[in-house]
Chain A
Amino acid sequence: MTNLSLFRESTRSWLADNCPKSMREPMLEKDICRGGRNHIFQSNDQKIWLDRMASKGWTAPTWPIEFGGAGLCKEQAKVLREELIAIEARPPVSGMGISMIGPAILEFGSETLKKQHLPAMARGEIRWCQGYSEPNSGSDLAGLQTKAENFGDHLIVNGQKVWTSYGDDADWMFCLVRTNTDVGKHSGISLVLFDMETKGVTTRPIQLISGTSQFCETYLDDVRVEIDQIVGEIDAGWTVAKYLLTHEREALGKMGSSPVERSIKEQAITCLDLTNGRLNDEVIRKELIDWEIDYFCHQLTSERVNAEIASSGVGNTSAMLKYYGTELNKRKYELLISIHGSESMHWEDNPVSRQWLRSKGNSIEGGTSEIQLNIIAKRILGLG
């Protein structure tokens, strides 16, 4: 038996023993465990599941062991992912720590930053938010105005961020600030980290069309940031920011591939029924299979692209996966609305309505679809 199949076997049996039954049930938005200082565990099982996974280093499986990971290679991480999907396990913790700022700190951060932040992230103790967008710089991110003055051992930050997802619940922010105004707009940016409890940080929730308030305006008034909390070099934050964005796109590109939701096909069959093996609505049937094919192709592509990156180091495809995956997710909810009919318009007792509304943001957050298409056209196709 190869090492990989041994690993699969031991993973499978560990998961069978350690993943609580209730953590293998379909979940809704409210069941997601995002961790952090203020997180209230929904159930004992949720806590046990997070603790057990974190103690294995499996919340961030490819990170080095000393930083809270398990030091797995890509192939092993894939096996773990597959085994988790196979038992329909819920993610033990999700958020912008492990999926976004963590990889950026690993790649660009100092040893101090790695020791300070990564293990707590992997254990789900600290919850992160992203301070990129500002009122006057969205797609044109490098046009950001939030200013940081350098006082040698610390920076003083002033400005405003907007659309900060979960800004009011988060413990720490990774934030893009302008540290130099005498150079081109891409050259004077730094990525800094600070505690949301720091004096001068205020958040104001904004209500979304889906009725929840997942994001905030964040005001930064004379916020003190220690100089060692810059990720990478000062003024060289744009490179880090872009690196982080590829991780964000990758995460968003996986949208809708959550194994824990009841499949759209099952929902269609339950709501519409079959006659002689055919769904009782020819038009929905056609839309559904069309969607399923695109979805399958998208998943295969993400698998293929990852394998290609692993084998040859090329791959500039996160923009495409993000674009296609989020557009697919929007299509999925349009389809679900057709499947559920007027039930899906119920505000309180049918989850589809709000998920449908929330999905509209997928092709905006993390860079709009149009921006992804620009990236493909310019960087991949070389159209000027």
Chain B
Amino acid sequence: MNLVLNEEETMIKDAANDFLFENAGPDHLRNLRDDPDSKGFSVSLWGQMIDLGWPSLLVPEEFGGLDFSNVGMGQIMQQVGCHLATSPLLITGILGVTLLKNSSSNHWKAKILPLIAQGKTKMAIAIDETSRHDPQVIQTKLTPKAGEYVLNGTKLNVVDGQVADSFIVIAKIPSEKPKETDDICFVIVDSNQQGISVKNNLLIDSRKTSSLIFSDVKVTDKQILKFNESSESILQKLLSTANIYLSAELLGIAEKAFELTMQYLKTRSQFGVKIGSFQALQHRSANLWAEIELGKSIVLKALRSLDEMDQDINKIASMAKAKTSKIAENATNEGIQMHGGIGMTDEFYIGFYLKRAKVSQLLFGDWKYHLDRAAYLSGY
């Protein structure tokens, strides 16, 4: 496996960096936070991303996309982390596309994928029902009723739920084989459908999520996404994809927080010398740098494994998420500490990185969750 970026991948990384350097970053995030009408992401930035074709990158050519690689898209996510960019790219442009691409429901593919590619629709994926991520706990239920179904249940922490045009909801459904435990399935519902209530939460990093309550929402058989694989395995792979991209984002956050900190160590003086000359800080910095180098390797490995459909993808994803969560935690915490008092101020940048890092760590399973999952998948 090649652990070096090829020319095309390097180009997209540089282009994403240049673009986001101009159009995102902590100052933009602060403006978003202070905007009373904020939707939890930057509408103008999303518009620009659409113009650049980012939501179409992973969409297959037959549906109007560019069929680009995950390694390529991963470079963008890493830069999204570096520049704290807020947009529906992860959920709609990456997870929504991945899920639909893998589905065998041609109707939905033909209907939604082109819309995503053109930036004309936003989705949300409703998985978690517990405050601590645990996809084994699904109580939201599809119950057969008069030849159709009704959907009931509550979903928490649904990213982009506040702006989505449609939701993909993970729900239990009675097994087709009698006496067996319920299966899970993926249901597509329009966000305007009767019986859905949406309550928004503002997060520490100025993004928004929603709690969704479904009460007797009518669902037809057509609204259940079909796959050629078990829904359980599709869900695991979807979560792995999510966590690999979050790992790329966390790596970007760590890299930038580290860069800011190194700049500060070279400019701030105390005791008549630059604070970067203190060995206590040098060793902690060197250690952090080594950790970030390790993070780069596992993120690239994980993205390539996605492209190559590696059998161990779930294990690699958990390893990547566990590792990058710790690296980002370390880089942002050390960042604050090494800035001293100014690191605690809202005016300074490092705090924005701390907040974003924590949210991305918790999303779809934190360090602890993924250590456990990796151990389990390693056979112990």
State A278–B283 Cα separation when bound (angstroms).
37
Residues of A within 8 A of B2 (CB): 307
Residues of B within 8 A of A382 (CB): 262, 266
Known contacts A274-B380, A308-B4, A373-B283; is-contact A324 B290 (Cβ 8 Å): yes
Q: Interface residues of B: mostly helix, strand, loop or mixed?
A: helix
For residue B175, CB closer than 8 A to chain A, the reply is no
Who on chain A is nearest to B262 by CB?
A381
For residue A24, CB closer than 8 A to chain B, the reply is no
Residues of B within 8 A of A278 (CB): 375-376, 380
Q: Per a CB cutoff under 8 Å, which of B4, B276, B283, B294 touches A301? A: B294
Residues of B within 8 A of A320 (CB): 286, 289-290, 293
A376 touches B289 (CB 8 A): yes
For residue B374, CB closer than 8 A to chain A, the reply is yes
A279 touches B282 (CB 8 A): no
Chain A nearest CB: distance from B338 CB in Å? 11
Who on chain B is nearest to A372 by CB?
B286
For residue B270, CB closer than 8 A to chain A, the reply is no
Residues of A within 8 A of B294 (CB): 294, 297-298, 300-301, 324
Residues of B within 8 A of A31 (CB): none
For residue B298, CB closer than 8 A to chain A, the reply is yes
State A181–B286 Cα separation when bound (angstroms).
34
For residue B379, CB closer than 8 A to chain A, the reply is yes
A279 touches B265 (CB 8 A): no
State A304–B297 Cα separation when bound (angstroms).
7
For residue B203, CB closer than 8 A to chain A, the reply is no
Who on chain A is nearest to B316 by CB?
A296
Known contacts A324-B290, A376-B290; is-contact A285 B375 (Cβ 8 Å): yes
B262 touches A380 (CB 8 A): no
Known contacts A265-B379, A279-B375, A320-B293; is-contact A377 B286 (Cβ 8 Å): yes
Residues of A within 8 A of B274 (CB): 384
Residues of B within 8 A of A289 (CB): 322, 371-372, 374-375, 378, 380
Q: Per a CB cutoff under 8 Å, which of A265, A279, A376 touches B286? A: A376
Who on chain A is nearest to B290 by CB?
A320
Residues of B within 8 A of A378 (CB): 282
For residue A189, CB closer than 8 A to chain B, the reply is no
B376 touches A383 (CB 8 A): no
Q: Per a CB cutoff under 8 Å, which of A279, A301, A374 touches B297? A: A301
Chain B nearest CB: distance from A124 CB in Å? 32
Q: Per a CB cutoff under 8 Å, which of A296, A297, A298, A383 touches B262? A: A383
For residue A277, CB closer than 8 A to chain B, the reply is yes
Across chains A and B, the number of contacting residue pairs, with CB separation under 8 Å, is 121
Chain A nearest CB: distance from B260 CB in Å? 13
State A370–B300 Cα separation when bound (angstroms).
29
Residues of B within 8 A of A374 (CB): 279, 282-283, 286
Q: By CB atoms of chain A within 10 A, which of B283, B286, B301, B378 has the most? A: B286
For residue B23, CB closer than 8 A to chain A, the reply is no
B380 touches A307 (CB 8 A): no
Residues of A within 8 A of B323 (CB): 293-294, 297
Size of the B side of the interface (Cβ < 8 Å), in residues, is: 37
Chain A nearest CB: distance from B241 CB in Å? 19
Residues of A within 8 A of B374 (CB): 289, 292-293
A381 touches B375 (CB 8 A): no
Chain B proximity mask over A300-343: 1 for CB below 8 Å, otherwise 0 = 11011101100100000100100110000000000000000000
B3 touches A307 (CB 8 A): yes
Chain A nearest CB: distance from B360 CB in Å? 18
Chain B proximity mask over A267-291: 1 for CB below 8 Å, otherwise 0 = 0110000100111000001101110
A296 touches B4 (CB 8 A): no
B287 touches A288 (CB 8 A): no
State A378–B283 Cα separation when bound (angstroms).
10
State A121–B374 Cα separation when bound (angstroms).
43
Who on chain A is nearest to B277 by CB?
A384
B298 touches A373 (CB 8 A): no
Chain B nearest CB: distance from A290 CB in Å? 6
For residue B296, CB closer than 8 A to chain A, the reply is yes
Q: Per a CB cutoff under 8 Å, which of B285, B300, B322, B380 touches A377? A: B285
Who on chain A is nearest to B4 by CB?
A307
Chain A proximity mask over B255-296: 1 for CB below 8 Å, otherwise 0 = 000000010011000000010110101110111011001111
Chain B nearest CB: distance from A237 CB in Å? 27
Residues of B within 8 A of A294 (CB): 294, 323
A377 touches B301 (CB 8 A): no
A288 touches B380 (CB 8 A): yes
A297 touches B285 (CB 8 A): no
Residues of B within 8 A of A304 (CB): 3-4, 296-297, 300
State A21–B289 Cα separation when bound (angstroms).
43
State A334–B295 Cα separation when bound (angstroms).
24
Chain B nearest CB: distance from A17 CB in Å? 28
A285 touches B300 (CB 8 A): no
A292 touches B378 (CB 8 A): yes
Residues of A within 8 A of B277 (CB): 383-384
Known contacts A304-B3, A384-B274; is-contact A317 B283 (Cβ 8 Å): no
For residue B254, CB closer than 8 A to chain A, the reply is no
State A378–B279 Cα separation when bound (angstroms).
10
Residues of A within 8 A of B279 (CB): 374, 377
Residues of A within 8 A of B3 (CB): 300, 303-304, 307
Chain A nearest CB: distance from B232 CB in Å? 16
Known contacts A320-B289, A380-B289; is-contact A288 B300 (Cβ 8 Å): no
Q: Per a CB cutoff under 8 Å, which of A279, A298, A383 touches B276? A: A383
B290 touches A269 (CB 8 A): no
Residues of A within 8 A of B285 (CB): 377, 381, 383
Chain B nearest CB: distance from A76 CB in Å? 16
Residues of A within 8 A of B265 (CB): 383
Chain A nearest CB: distance from B317 CB in Å? 12
For residue B71, CB closer than 8 A to chain A, the reply is no
A373 touches B282 (CB 8 A): yes
Residues of B within 8 A of A269 (CB): 379-380
Chain A proximity mask over B315-331: 1 for CB below 8 Å, otherwise 0 = 00001001100000000
6 closest residue pairs by CB, A with B = A377-B282, A376-B286, A300-B297, A304-B3, A297-B294, A289-B375
A–B Cβ pairs within 8 angstroms, 25 of them: A265-B379, A274-B380, A277-B380, A278-B375, A285-B380, A286-B371, A289-B322, A289-B372, A289-B378, A294-B323, A300-B3, A300-B300, A301-B297, A304-B3, A307-B3, A323-B286, A374-B286, A377-B286, A381-B285, A381-B286, A383-B266, A383-B277, A383-B285, A384-B274, A384-B276
Give 10 A-B pairs besides A289-B374, A292-B378, A374-B283 with Cβ atoms closer than 8 angstroms. A265-B379, A289-B371, A289-B372, A290-B322, A293-B298, A297-B297, A374-B282, A381-B289, A383-B281, A384-B277
